[in-house]
Amino acid sequence: MTLEEAYEIIGEENKLKEGKKGLIVFDIDDTLLQADSSVMGIIIKHFTETGKWETVAREDSAQFANSKYKDVGGKPKPGYKFDYSDFRNDEKIKQSFFKTEKDGKVISNGAAPIVAQLRMMDSNLRAGYDVAFLTARGAENAVFTNLMKWLKYRNKKGEFVDLKKGKIKLSDSRAVNDDKYAKEYAGVTDSKKKALFLKDKCAKYDIVKFVDDDKNNLAAMRALRIPNLKVIESQGIEHNARIAARDLTRNPTA
């Protein structure tokens, strides 16, 4: 499914009341898009009896959300560590968004859009909300540069246009595993990193919505118990076909 096909039916969010400020914050992987897992994955390593770290698995974001190698707090179980180097590699980051070929061979199929959240982004933009992103990836500049090239906004005329930087708040966005935040987040889980960042945004906006697929992240946000924070569990890419079928039923001549 192309990005344009993903936008066929756009639901509308209630407009913000006059004078109110609203922000909707999206996770990226498995929320807005599904990256090609052949180029982006978390490498699981185990410390062996030989005194060396050996790779035992490679998981995409969806698999890693429920990885058997994590403890209940989201940290590696004893004897294991997680290698996020793919998420810090500028070239692999680009390939995770865009189809890439080399010497006549497809290296990456790029990112597949997830309809429900793209529709949600559009409707909230039209309702007057600012949009931001909060991801467990590193390499913040490369991630947001490529994301902004990949994303499009469908306006009231049904036209696909580039996102206006005035409404996309990269200053209110963060890739929490970027090296520049290493000191700030030392020893903190990804879920806690996201919660700490979002707590600050709730103090600056009247309404804040957070959309993510990871249950640990969702639980961490709900545990904040902030009155103006709405936590939303995203729908997966498997719902694309269902939404398309529903839209065809509603608009048989479309």
1-57 pLDDT per residue, tens: 444 444 433 445 678 888 999 999 999 998 999 888 778 888 999 999 999 999 999
The gap between the terminal CA atoms of the chain, to the nearest Å, is 17
pLDDT tens sequence for the chain (254 residues) = 444 444 433 445 678 888 999 999 999 998 999 888 778 888 999 999 999 999 999 888 778 888 999 998 788 999 999 998 888 889 999 999 999 998 999 989 999 999 889 889 988 988 999 999 999 898 999 999 999 999 988 777 777 787 766 678 888 899 999 999 999 999 898 999 999 999 999 999 999 999 999 888 999 999 999 999 999 999 878 776 666 666 556 555 55
pLDDT at 1: 44
Q: What is the pLDDT of residues 105-118, one digit of tens each?
A: 998 999 999 988 98
Q: How many CB atoms lie within 10 A of CB 84?
A: 18
Q: Cα–chain-centroid distance for residue 50?
A: 38
What gap in Å lies between CA 113 and CA 34, rounded to an integer?
7
What gap in Å lies between CA 254 and CA 251, rounded to an integer?
5
What gap in Å lies between CA 44 and CA 51, rounded to an integer?
16
pLDDT at 202: 96
3-class DSSP assignment, residue 159: coil
pLDDT at 158: 75
pLDDT at 220: 92
pLDDT at 244: 60
DSSP type of residue 9: S
